[in-house]
Chain A
Amino acid sequence: MSQDVDATPKEKRWRIGSLELLIIGLIALVLGQQWIVTFFTNPALQTASTIFVSIVVQAMPFLVGGVLLSGAVTAFIPASVWQRVLPKNKALAVPVSGCAGMLLPGCECASVPVAGSLVSKGVPASSALTFLLAAPAINPIVLVSTFVAFPGEPALVLARFVASLATAIIVGWIWLRFGQDSWMRMASRLHLVGDTKFETFRRTAAHDFLHAGGFLVFGAAIAAFINVIIPAEWMQSVADNPVLAIGFMALLAIVLSICSEADAFVASSFTQFSLTSKLVFMVVGPMVDIKLVAMQTGIFGRRFAMRFAPTTLVVAIAMSLIVGGVLLT
């Protein structure tokens, strides 16, 4: 884009505008509150707004924890550390970073900004992406909650671990072979470097929060509305057809955008569905869902997310079916 000529005056105008816009907008909303609230007496809209706020509130601590960690990675860990820790061979580095995913006890909201800061620190994209996929799926908290949610089904915990790790590693290798770093368009972080490490830390954290947070909100809103719109009766008939059930559980994982630390409880509540379709739900959910793809778009750019998410989805479903076929029968 070569709008350099008019960029400066346009920015100046916009810059004055946005703060005033915010203030005027807020005043208008506060004055119009009574009128707005009458809109929300519709029970469907009310339920959707509750679900929307609850997804955002539930995800916030994880998102903030993730951006603080990504700020810390950026500010306090020199790039040379990664070169020392990761094997020189990029193909070998992929499984190593997949297993490193066990060390980040968060959910997917946390791993997106962390992976973003790893890439900007010069970690090979294939490794950072494998970490991004593995961390929310195979960390100890998620595995324990899966164990708790499925009493008497320890094989499912193992299946989840194996299928998720395999998916993360395979997608990492696919990226290494076919991926192009030009698909990633990350916001410049130069302006985030402050006079002290602490300044860099907090600016990176705020920057990542603003980037990923808006998309989290977008994903939560879509998930909330779809949650309210899908007729409950559809579920029952779908569960009876094994192929439909798997496709449906994958779709549900994408749409519901549930935190990976909680998705096992949701999966187990679909009692009429097969174990393998629940496995699909739990492998796909932490890797591909609406809010996650939206956040990936925010951190890595749209061209990246458009390619990365479908690839991951296909591999995740395939791995779940294979692992499920071996371990869950």
Chain B
Amino acid sequence: MTREVQAVILVLVGSAIIRITIDDTFLNYVKEGMRPWLLLTGGALIAMGVLAIVDVFRGERGKKDDDEPEHEHEQGDDHAHHGPRSAWLLLLPVLAIFLVAPPALGAFAAARDLTNSSPSGAVAPPLPPGDPVEVYVSDYVNRAVWDFGKTLAGRTVAITGFVVPNPDGGWWLTRMSLACCAADAFAGKIQVVDPPEGWEEPPADTWAVVTGEWIPGGGTNSDTAIPLLAAENIVQIEQPVNPYD
């Protein structure tokens, strides 16, 4: 790999990172808090690449290569001047970002996650005021499964998520949470009970806001328990900018 190609790769990787950061696609992959770091990273890579291109134009490459004795190759170090062949692999994420633009994790990933929550230990505070009150899927699951639904009883909640078909019938309103990035995402699932007409078997990955009330059932104090939500109203929506909880 020549210095020109190395420089181009630096610029390409940097631009791919900047691009997903400014158009918010990065939220499909990592958490919001990464934004400034990604911008700095992309900027640093582009700067390194541009300066390397300047090097090439200044004829730095020719000078250095002639100065350096050929015996470097005796070590089999065929990337001493050229950059390693492995650096070609850096084009893969660039191509993935620009050509394929992998979507946020959906029903396939959610269905693979067999656990639904983990004991939080903390006592859930009362829900904020609001009718309906907006609740995250993971919050709802924690309150229903690990706090016996005490803080949910009698409240109307509005929950945003996507559809994952339940193999045993009906469907789960689902949203993934990230610990750090999409590699460690875990799913929170709520079984939607009594959906209104037309919502009995919606296609997987349909995003919706479900308004309804908590009803007992589905199990408690278990990391596989999937709580229930009696739906009153369901509105189909576009995928939110940040697809994760």
| Chain A residues in the interface with B (C-beta under 8 A) | 1-4, 7-8, 11, 14-15, 18-19, 22, 29-30, 33, 36-37, 40, 43-44, 46-47, 49-58, 60-61, 64-65, 68, 149, 151-152, 185, 187-188, 190-191, 202-203, 205-207, 209-211, 213-215, 217-218, 220-221, 223-224, 227-228, 232-233, 235-236, 256-259, 261-263, 265-266, 268-269, 271-272, 298
**A262 contacts B40, C-beta separation under 8 Å:** no
- The answer to whether the Cβ of B168 comes within 8 Å of any Cβ in the partner chain is no
Selected contact of A188 from candidates B5, B80, B95, B118, CB within 8 Å:
B80
A57: which B residues are within 8 A, CB to CB? 17, 20, 26, 29-30, 34, 38, 93, 181
Q: List 7 A-B contacts (CB under 8 A).
A: A4-B70, A7-B73, A54-B30, A188-B75, A233-B114, A235-B114, A262-B180
Assuming the A-B contacts A217-B89, A271-B223, are A52 and B96 also in contact, with contact meaning beta carbons closer than 8 angstroms in the complex?
Answer: yes
B interface majority secondary structure:
helix
A191 & B64 in contact (Cβ 8 Å cutoff): yes
> Which residues of B have CB within 8 Å of A151?
120-122
**Within the complex, what minimum Cβ distance (angstroms) separates B54 from chain A?**
11
* Contact flags B124-140 to A (C-beta < 8 A → 1, else 0): 00000000000000000
Q: CB of B119 within 8 A of chain A?
A: yes
Pair B118/A187 contact, Cβ less than 8 Å: no
Cα–Cα distance between A102 and B186 once the two chains are bound (Å): 30
- Interface positions, chain B 24-60, Cβ under 8 Å from A, are 26, 28-30, 34, 37-38, 40-41, 44-45, 47-49, 51-52
A51 and B84 form a contact (CB under 8 A) = no
- B contact residues around A202 at 8 Å (CB): 47-48, 51
Question: Do residues A259 and B38 form an inter-chain contact, with CB atoms below 8 A?
Answer: no
Question: Are A214 and B113 closer than 8 Å at their CB atoms?
Answer: no
Which single member of A1, A52, A235 contacts B102 (CB below 8 Å)? A52
Size bracket of the B interface: 35 or more
Complex: A205 Cα to B44 Cα, angstroms: 10
Contact A61 B41 (CB under 8 A): yes
A312 to B226 Cα, complex, angstroms: 40
B92 touches A (CB below 8 Å):
yes
The interface bits of chain B over 8-33 (1 if a CB of A lies within 8 angstroms of the residue's CB, else 0) are 11100100010010000010111000
A47 to B72, CA, bound (A): 43
Does A191 lie within 8 Å of B68, measured CB to CB?
A: yes
Q: Which of A4, A53, A190 contacts B96 (CB 8 A)?
A: A53
Q: Enumerate chain A residues within 8 angstroms of B4, measured Cβ to Cβ.
A: 18-19
CA distance A44 to B118 in the complex (A): 26
Residues of A within 8 A of B13 (CB): 60, 213
The answer to whether B40 and A61 have CB atoms under 8 Å apart is yes
Known: A8-B70, A51-B182, A232-B113. 16 other contacts (CB 8 A): A22-B8, A30-B99, A36-B99, A50-B109, A54-B182, A57-B26, A187-B80, A188-B80, A191-B68, A210-B83, A210-B84, A211-B79, A211-B84, A259-B181, A269-B115, A269-B118
